[in-house]
Amino acid sequence: MTLTQSIGNARSSLSTVSEQISVVSQNIANVSNADATRKVANVITGPGGGVSVASISRTANKLLLDTYLTANSNNQTQTVINSALNQLENTVGETDSETSPAALIAKLNSALQNYSTTPQNGAIAATVVSAAQALATSLNSATQAVTTMRNQADNDIATSVSNINNLLSQFQKLNQTIVSGTGSGADITDALDQRDAILKQLSSEVGIRTVTRAGGDMAIYTDSGVTLFDKTARQVTFQASSNLGPNSVGNPVYADGVPIAGTPHTMSISSGNLAGLVEVRDNIALTYQGQLDEIARGLIEATAETDQSATPTLSAAAGLFTYGGGPAIPTSGTLVAGLAGSIKVNPNVDPSQGGDPTLIRDGGIAGNAAYTYNSTGAASYTDRIQQLITNLGTSRSFDPSAQLTQTASVTDYAKSSVSWLESLRQSASAEAESRQTLADRASSALSKDTGVNLDEEMTNLLALERTFQASSRLINTVDSLFASLLQTVG
């Protein structure tokens, strides 16, 4: 090798090492960036022995990335559901909580028992009214909480759809940059990192799967197979509801014109924040609302008055409890949407509204003498009170759409509702913890395989510095040889 070749090789080495150090420095700068992958300068040897950086590549693992995207989507779904169930649980507490419908029915039953022992005591009758008011208020408040939750979920769905469209728009720009850069041989590693970061964010909103094509191009589909991106971003649409009531149905979400959430469909998504919100809005909240409505209907039915005439001709009428459709009694075994929101204590027995609480003992709450049980007006009359106590514990029919037993007493039905909610909440909590663990492990595995390790980069940096020093010494040595040669010639 000639001195000229030697100095040329040394200079190429210095230039190459300088580029390598720049790449390592960039890695070190991104050590805390979870979306950054480790970059590597690919070095090649030229014909004369010189070296150069042919390209910059990054460490990537599509399998681990796909595993993370799936785990993240599943985790987001369960997080939304678990949060919603915790909110619902707070509206009623556990079965033995003082705020649960089951506990308040027990308090009403206890008040009736006390009234039965002293039927002539009007103050005790007033405690029955107070217990009934607390129960009705609890059902009203729970309905309002469910309605608020459904409307919040509907608003959050709109936000999620907006986020999806924004992310797809960003993805399109990055994808175009990558395809163009791949064709021209430009460094696209940072753009690839940014595109993967978009996929991670997108997986939080909706379950996705990706297909990588020649030239760096990528297509995105929902976990159910609907196209979200293929050369261009597809539009995801949703019309938010202004106010969802107990009997309102939320609007569906469409992707590329295909319904993917909010309505039964073969292409419905199964994971992501969006799937969780729709599950809360359309299934969990509605089912619980149905149970509240059935409890309310059971109470109205259990406390209803019947025609006490010798030859009864009148239909049963609302007694202690009534509602917006009173005095008629709701159809037995048939759910009336929103009934729990309108149930109330009959004003005819409410002292604060000019009512007479002793009508609980005597009957005639409906405002018709035909419904009077205590026809003699006896102060010690207890038959009607005992009948009310019995009715609260008597089995009756309930609508199966509320997903509880179809035959039970209103007391047991209320207990079953709270148990259903608590069981669902505990199951969701355990599932959320499990999915969070899987998501954390997937994230850790991806980071370990493709992320920047500070110790490794510092080791590489020291090795490159030694190479730089060696090349510098070689140049100095060759320079000295040239000087000696020139001096000898001169």
343 and 477 part of one domain: no
Domain around 177: 66-438
Is the preceding omega at residue 327 within 30 degrees of 0, hence cis? yes
Same domain, 85 and 52: no
Burial class (CB in 10 A: 0-12, 13-18, 19+), 170: middle
Count of domains observed in the chain: 2
What is the pLDDT, as a whole number, of residue 179? 95
pLDDT of residue 95: 47
Which residue, chain included where needed, has tokens 């559901």?
81
Residue 445 lies in a domain: no
Strands in 107-166 per DSSP E: none
Tell me the C-alpha distance between 443 and 67, whole Å: 9
Scored b (16 or more CB within 10 A) or e, 444-483 reads ebbbeebbbeeeebeebbeebeebbeebeebbeebeeeee
Burial, 232: exposed, middle or buried (Cβ in 10 Å; 0-12, 13-18, 19+)? exposed
Tell me: do 159 and 213 sit in the same domain.
yes
Residue 184 maps to a domain: yes
Residue 387 maps to a domain:
yes
pLDDT of residue 330: 94
Residues 36 and 154 in one domain: no
Instruction: Enumerate residues 6+ apart whose C-beta is below 8 A from 192.
Output: 37, 58, 60, 178, 216
Q: Are residues 76 and 212 in the same domain?
A: yes
Q: Let me know if residue 448 belongs to a domain.
A: no
Last residue of a domain, one of 399, 414, 438: 438
Number of H helices, E strands in the chain: 12, 13
The pLDDT tens digits for 103-145 are 899 999 999 999 999 999 999 999 999 999 999 999 999 999 9
Tokens coding 254: 């469409």
| pLDDT score, position 42 | 73
pLDDT, mean over the chain: 88
Q: Are 279 and 154 part of one and the same domain?
A: yes
d(CA 272, CA 69) in angstroms, rounded, equals 10
Q: What are the Cα distances from residue 204, in Å, to 73, 78, 199, 394?
A: 5, 11, 9, 48
Assess if residue 446 is contained within a domain: no
* pTM of the entire predicted model: 0.87
CA pair distance 72, 210, nearest whole angstrom: 15
Residue 487: is it exposed, middle or buried by C-beta count within 10 angstroms (0-12/13-18/19+)? exposed
Are residues 459 and 422 located together in one domain of the fold?
no
Q: What is the pLDDT of residue 11?
A: 64
Question: Could you report the per-residue pLDDT of 171-192, keeping only the tens digit for each?
Answer: 999 999 999 999 888 889 999 9
Do 295 and 393 fall within a single domain?
yes
Q: So what's the pLDDT on residue 29? A: 81
Residues 102 and 24 both lie in one domain: no
Tell me, yes or no, whether 108 lies in a domain.
Answer: yes
Band of pLDDT at residue 10, cut at 50, 70 and 90: low
174 located within any domain: yes
* Pairing status of strand 253-255 against strand 236-238: antiparallel
pLDDT of the residue at 22:
79
- pLDDT of 395 reads 95
Q: Tell me, yes or no, whether 146 and 55 share the same domain.
A: no
Q: Domain for residue 444, yes or no?
A: no
Q: Are 112 and 105 in contact (CB under 8 A)?
A: no
Where is average pLDDT lowest: 33-42, 112-121, 160-169, 379-388?
33-42
Q: Are residues 142 and 288 in the same domain?
A: yes
Instruction: Give yes or no: residues 24 and 132 share one domain.
Output: no
pLDDT, tens digit, 9 for 90 and up, residues 429-465: 898 899 999 998 998 898 888 877 777 767 876 776 7
- 320 with 388: CB under 8 angstroms? yes
